Every structure is written in structure tokens, then in C-alpha cells.
């Protein structure tokens, strides 16, 4: 073998090692690994999610390791299983439509963090599912998820600042401003949703009065079984147009 021949041989071996170390781990993950990981979460749509992952495994560059990490992380979060399932279903729906979940995975992680914080994410996931149904670009969907999560945090913090609190799950209402968790969460979701719709509809964040009016109308139109009139009165008494303008600006910045 000539000197040049030996060099080519060495380069070839080096490349082979690089390729194996780069792609070998992803290739090593199989349907069984995901099946096992999903078993740790009580899912009603285990088979559907697994079938979607199967589709993904056949995609080039499928982020198998990242997805497995997310599933394992979700399994460890102390939160209702349906919230974790919602995130996985969002990813499954994207895979079913042949979309790459590369861009969506960070949003999945952000949603997992939101669950850990106790934020009600169902509405955010529904928005993402709407975006997927509309075949919107992944980047647009991710931006929407990020905006809505920010809004949930901002609205929750505003209510806290106005002395409206979220009582622990299962406890009774000890004061008029310590709302049971489900009622508090519903208010946060509806206010955040209204602000988001306003901004996405092209409304000016500086027009706090219009924003406040939209929130008020939205809350008052909801059935009593969704939000109670006394809760709506409490919130509308304690927040004002400047608060909503500030929230809108924070989201946009």
C-alpha cells in the first residue's frame, strides 16, 4: 500500500467513526424505547402518540433524543396527566401531518416548564393545534405559543399584584379574593386569550381602553358555569386599561 493509499484509508476510518458517533445514538433509539418511556405517563392516546413517533423515526434528522428527553421530563413532572398528554398530542399531530418537530420541541419544553409553574396550558396547546390544522409555518406556531405563555404569566402576576390569589387545589375559598384554582385559572386563561386575540387582530397596545373593553366583554359573555359574575366583577374592579397596556407591551417586547 502506498503512502497516499494509507492516508485515504485512515481518513475513511476517521469519517466512519465520526458518522457513527454523530448519528449512531439517534439510530439506536427505537419504537420500544419510546413505548417504554410513554408507559411512565398514564395516557389515553398512547398508541396514537407512539404511531406518530414511528412516523418520525422514519424521517431524516428526526430529533429522537430530544423527544425522548422531553417525554422522560414530562413523566417526572407532578401535574395532571392530561396536560402532559396535550403536549405529546401536539407533537404527534405535527408528525401525522408530515411536519418536522425540530422547531416545535423547544416549544414543548417551554410548555413543560409552564406546567411545572402551574400555568394552565390547555388553551395554549389548543392554539398550537389550530395552527397545525391551518398548516401554519412551525416558526409562526412557536411564536404564538411563546406569546401566549408569556401572557399567561403576565396576567397571573397582575392578578397576584392586585391581591387576587389562587387557592390551593382542593381547599375551600377562605376569602373573596382567594379563588379556587380552577376559577382563578379560567380567569387567567380568558384574559390572556382576549389580549392575545386583540394583539393578533392588529389592535394597538397603547389603546388600553379598547383592550379593557374587549376583556370585559369577553368575560361577561362567558356562561356562569365557566366564570362566575362575582369573579369577573372582582377582576374588572382591580385591573384597569393601563395594566393591560403594560402587559401588551411586555408581550410585544
Binding residue (CB under 8 A) for other proteins from 16, 76, 161, 226: 226
Q: Looking at residues 90 to 119 of the shown chain, list those that interact with other proteins (rule: CB under 8 A).
A: 93
Binding residue (CB under 8 A) for other proteins from 51, 129, 178, 210: 129
**Least CB distance from residue 38 to other proteins, whole Å?**
19
Binding residue (CB under 8 A) for other proteins from 120, 218, 244, 247: 218
**Least CB distance from residue 203 to other proteins, whole Å?**
10
Q: Which stretch binds other proteins (CB under 8 A): 29-37, 56-64, 67-75, 190-198?
A: 190-198
Residue-wise DSSP of the chain: --HHHHHHHHHHHHHHHHHHHHHHHHHH--HHHHHHHHHTS--SSHHHHHHHHHHHHTSTT--HHHHHHHHHHHHHS-S-HHHHHHHHHHHHHHHHTT---TTHHHHHHHHHHHHHHT---HHHHHHHHHHHHTT--HHHHHHHHHHHHHHHHHHHHHHHHTT-EEPPTT----STTEE-HHHHHHHHHHHHHHHHHHHHTT--TT-HHHHHHHHHHHHHHS-TTTS-HHHHHHHHHH--HHHHHHHHHHHH-
Q: Which stretch binds other proteins (CB under 8 A): 8-16, 30-38, 71-79, 196-204?
A: 196-204
**49 or 68: CB nearest other proteins:** 49
**Least CB distance from residue 189 to other proteins, whole Å?**
10
Binding residue (CB under 8 A) for other proteins from 117, 130, 169, 242: 130
Amino acid at each position: 500500500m502506498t503512502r497516499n493509499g494509507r492516508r485515504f484509508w485512515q481518513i475513511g476510518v476517521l469519517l466512519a467513526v465520526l458518522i457513527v458517533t454523530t448519528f449512531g445514538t439517534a439510530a439506536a433509539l427505537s419504537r420500544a424505547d419510546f413505548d417504554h418511556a410513554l408507559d411512565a405517563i398514564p395516557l389515553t392516546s398512547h398508541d396514537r402518540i407512539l404511531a406518530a413517533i414511528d412516523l418520525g423515526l422514519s424521517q431524516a434528522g428526526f430529533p429522537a433524543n430530544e423527544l425522548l428527553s422531553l417525554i422522560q421530563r414530562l413523566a417526572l413532572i407532578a401535574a395532571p396527566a392530561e396536560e402532559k398528554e396535550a403536549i405529546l398530542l401536539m407533537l404527534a399531530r405535527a408528525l401525522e401531518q408530515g411536519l418536522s418537530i425540530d422547531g416545535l420541541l423547544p416549544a414543548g419544553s417551554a410548555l413543560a416548564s409552564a406546567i411545572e409553574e402551574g400555568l394552565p396550558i390547555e388553551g395554549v396547546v389548543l392554539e398550537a393545534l389550530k395552527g397545525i390544522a391551518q398548516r401554519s409555518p412551525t416558526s409562526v406556531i412557536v411564536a404564538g405559543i411563546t406569546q401566549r405563555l408569556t401572557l399567561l404569566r403576565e396576567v397571573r402576576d397582575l392578578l397576584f399584584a392586585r391581591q387576587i390569589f389562587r387557592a390551593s387545589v382542593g381547599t375551600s375559598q377562605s376569602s373573596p379574593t382567594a379563588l379556587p384554582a380552577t376559577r382563578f385559572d379560567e380567569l387567567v386563561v380568558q384574559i390572556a386569550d382576549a389580549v392575545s386575540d386583540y394583539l393578533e387582530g392588529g389592535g394597538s397596545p397603547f389603546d388600553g381602553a379598547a383592550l379593557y373593553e374587549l376583556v370585559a366583554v369577553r368575560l361577561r359573555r362567558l356562561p356562569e358555569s365557566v366564570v362566575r359574575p362575582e369573579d369577573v366583577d372582582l377582576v374588572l374592579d382591580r385591573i384597569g386599561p393601563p395594566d393591560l397596556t403594560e402587559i401588551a407591551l411586555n408581550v410585544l417586547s
